[in-house]
Amino acid sequence: MNSNFLKRTISTVILLPLLILLILKGSSTLLLIILFLCLSIAWYEWVKLFNFSLHFYLYGFILLLLSLFLLDKFSTLYIFFLIFFLAYLPSMFNFEREAFIKTFYPFLIGLIYLYLSFASLKLLIQGYPRELLLFLFCVVFGNDTGAYLAGRKWGKSPFFPEISPKKTWEGFWGGLILALIVGIFLNKLYSLWSTLSLITIVLMLTLFAVMGDLFESSIKRSVGKKDAGALIPGHGGILDRLDGVFFASPIYVFFLEVLNYGVPYRLGL
Domain boundaries, the chain: 3-258
Q: List the single range of 56-60, 68-72, 185-189, 228-232 with lowest mean pLDDT.
A: 228-232
Question: What is the pLDDT, as a whole number, of residue 225?
Answer: 83
Question: Is a pLDDT exceeding 90 seen at residue 174?
Answer: yes
Question: Is a pLDDT exceeding 50 seen at residue 106?
Answer: yes
Segment 69-96 shows an average pLDDT of 85
Segment 156-164 shows an average pLDDT of 87
Segment 177-206 shows an average pLDDT of 93
The percentage of residues in the chain with a pLDDT greater than 90, rounded to a whole number, is 54
Segment 199-216 shows an average pLDDT of 94
Higher pLDDT, 115 or 193: 115
* Predicted model pTM: 0.89
Question: What is the pLDDT, as a whole number, of residue 119?
Answer: 95
- Rounded to whole angstroms, the Cα distance separating 119 from 124 reads 9
Question: What is the pLDDT, as a whole number, of residue 3?
Answer: 63
Confidence of residue 117 (pLDDT cuts 50, 70, 90): very high
Distance of CA 49 to the CA centre of its chain: 17
Higher pLDDT, 10 or 51: 51
Distances (CA, A) of 211 to 12, 112, 160: 22, 16, 11
Averaged pLDDT score across all residues of the chain:
87
